[in-house]
Amino acid sequence: MTPSKKKGPAPVIDPYIPTNGNFGYRVSRYEIDLEYKVAINRLAGSVTITAVTLAALRNFTLDLSDALAVTKVTVNGRRPAQFKLSQSKLHVGLTDTLPPGAAMSIVVRYGGSPRPIRSYWGDVGFEELTEGVLVAGQPNGAASWFPCDDHPSAKASFAIRISTESPYYALANGKLLSRRARAGMTAWTYEQAEPTSTYLMTLQIGVYNRHRMAKNGVEMYAVLPDRLRRNFDQDFADQPKMMKLFVKLFGPYPLATGYTVVITDDDLEIPLEAQGISVFGANHCDGEGSAERLIAHELAHQWFGNSVTAQRWRHIWLHEGFACYAEWVWSEHSGGRSADEWARHYYQRLADSPKDMVLADPGARDMFDDRVYKRGALTLHVLRRRVGDDNFFALLRDWTARHRHSTVVTDDFTGLASNYTNKSLRPLWAAWLYEKELPTLDLPT
């Protein structure tokens, strides 16, 4: 009798989200066609996934929440030998093996009552509001509303058609291609052409109206309840100036379809970014200008995080450190505290905080810790002081151009930065990115 071989642990794409991501294929496009009924939280529809095999493939998986039920699957027009949804994975077994480089057209019909995915970082994904819906997908919430390869390194284009009751405004990423009302329902069709990570895809439904904002080189829109319009016009008045500054310093805005801000009718703990969209709560639109730094932060994510995206979540400082630094740059430009002043302020805060985290690999539980944001911003400020303003912002423009709509790791940035100075930056990176202790802050007084 031959002894059975023990199965080793399942391979992991990213230890920060060990059950997310899938092997054996690469997706290039999702076409999502959904119907959603707000009052009863009922979602039904289908997704057509265009992919190519990376190896000989007889079985494959997609990420999908167990809150949803799959009723039918086809691959290249044929029913598979079997499919099963278990532990947030849709397992598909084919009747025949597909060779490497084979095209796959996967159609999944599914439905149910979507709910957020519970994680280290709270509930993420599809969430009901008092009257409507928001999707906050970071870092692993996309599977709460459609089957996908839910990992930031897996970018694709998207088409989304969402039908919902006609009193509601339905917003998804990309260009609105059509809006058709019939029998009390309205179907909204969007096209997101630029390669996008699944966590950055969103759905926002509410009793909203859409308004065009002042254009400053980039089309900008607001989607919000009428009751918040006056506050919005005050609180977001400087956003066109932010856009102009960031285009100058960071390079061209990366999306052809412009930028939309959503204000939900509910309060939200924090704003959140999506591709071409930022979502704020009613509490961030109070008429007092209290969310100015957050407005700058979320806008900056369109370059840092959304277009240039971390290949693995350990590199999240490339999102949050850069967006946080954009807050300081905006403050400096608009007559507030200088970046030097913010650096000293937050350096003292970090000095009084635990020194148990490495910025370039903070660990899953701490990836959204404020220390990642502030130490990341401080690292950039120290670099700026080392190489000078002209070289620093030339580096950022080079970074966003070279890696536009692609994925990166920390070494990509540190390697590129070496082109902008004759001095070795290795001691700076070693101290700020790879040591737990806080280096000294040597800024001119």
Q: Is residue 5, in this structure, part of any structural domain at all? A: no
Whether residues 222 and 293 fall in one domain: yes
Domain presence at residue 30: yes
Q: What DSSP letter does each residue of 286-331 carry, written as one string?
A: SSS-TTHHHHHHHHHTTTBTTTEEESSGGGTHHHHHHHHHHHHHHH
**29 in a structural domain:** yes
Asked if 198 contacts 235 with a C-beta cutoff of 8 angstroms, the reply is no
Residues 171 and 288 in one domain: no
* 444 C-beta neighbours (distance < 10 Å), count: 5
Question: For position 388, which CATH number holds?
Answer: 1.10.390.10
Q: Express each pLDDT in 215-242 by its tens digit.
A: 778 999 999 999 999 999 999 999 999 9
Give percent of the chain with pLDDT exceeding 70: 97
> Looking at 173, 197, 221, which one is the last position of a domain?
197
Measure Cα distances from 445 to 6, 160, 441 in Å.
Answer: 63, 53, 11
Structure tokens at 107: 């159609």
Tally of helices (H runs) and strands (E runs) in the chain? 9, 22
> What is the domain extent for residue 240?
208-302
- At 1, the pLDDT band (50, 70, 90 cuts) reads very low
Q: Do residue 388 and residue 271 come from a single domain?
A: no
Confidence (pLDDT) at 335: 96
Q: Where does the pLDDT of residue 8 fall: very low under 50, low under 70, confident under 90, or very high at 90 and above? A: low
224 in Cβ contact with 232 (< 8 Å) = yes
User: What is the rounded CA–CA span in Å between residue 337 and residue 329?
Assistant: 9
CA–CA dist 39, 430 (Å, integer): 54
**Cα distances (angstroms) measured from residue 317 to each of 279, 324, 376:** 21, 10, 6
Q: φ and ψ at 318, to 5 degrees?
A: -70, -15
The pair of three-digit structure tokens given for residue 40, joined into one six-digit string:
């009863």
- Is the model's pLDDT at 168 over the cut of 90? yes
Torsion of CA 272, 109, 69, 39, to 10 degrees: 60
Same domain (yes/no): 189, 237: no
Does 132 map to a domain?
no
120/142 Cα distance (integer angstroms): 16
Asked whether residue 278 falls in the same domain as residue 338, the answer is: no
Domain co-membership, 345 together with 381: yes
CATH code, domain carrying 285? 3.30.2010.30
C-alpha to C-alpha distance for 307 and 317, rounded to whole angstroms: 15
pTM: 0.96
Are residues 352 and 397 both part of a single domain? yes
Residues 274 and 321 reside in one and the same domain: no
> Does 272 reside within a domain?
yes
- Residue 51 within any structural domain of the chain: yes
Give the mean pLDDT of 82-103.
Answer: 97
Give 71-90 pLDDT, tens digit per residue.
999 999 999 999 999 999 99
Domain boundary among 270, 302, 334: 302
Residue 129 lies in a domain: no
Dihedral sign, Cα of residue 50, residue 55, residue 58, residue 64: negative
Q: How many CB atoms lie within 10 A of CB 197?
A: 26
| CATH number of the domain that residue 170 is part of | 2.60.40.1730
d(CA 368, CA 324): 12
pLDDT one-digit tens code per residue, 309-345: 999 999 999 999 999 999 999 999 999 999 999 999 9
The verdict on 354 and 260 lying in the same domain is: no
Angstrom distances, CA of residue 292 to CA of 214, 228, 248, 289, 336: 17, 16, 19, 6, 11
Instruction: Report the alpha-carbon distance of residue 23 to residue 368 in Å, rounded.
Output: 27
Nearest one of 394, 396, 134 to 265, comparing CA atoms: 134
**What is the overall mean pLDDT for the chain?**
96
User: Do 274 and 351 have their domain in common?
Assistant: no
Is residue 19 over pLDDT 60? yes
Other CB atoms within 10 Å distance of the CB of residue 326: 27
Asked if residue 186 belongs to a domain, the reply is: yes
Check whether residue 348 and residue 379 sit in a common domain. Answer: yes
Please say if the pLDDT value at position 2 is more than 90. Answer: no
Q: Rounded distance, CA 316 to CA 375, Å?
A: 12
Do strands 406-408 and 308-310 pair parallel, antiparallel, or not at all (unpaired)? Answer: parallel
Q: What is the CA radius of gyration of the chain?
A: 23
| Inter-residue contact 323 to 305 (CB < 8 Å) | yes
Q: Are residues 158 and 105 in the same domain?
A: yes
Q: Which candidate, 191, 242, 187, 232, places its Cα nearest to that of 212? A: 232
CA distance 21 to 430: 30
Residue at a domain's end among 176, 197, 218: 197
Nearest CA-CA partner of 262 in 221, 301, 323: 221
pLDDT (mean) for 29-44: 98
Count of structural domains, the chain: 3
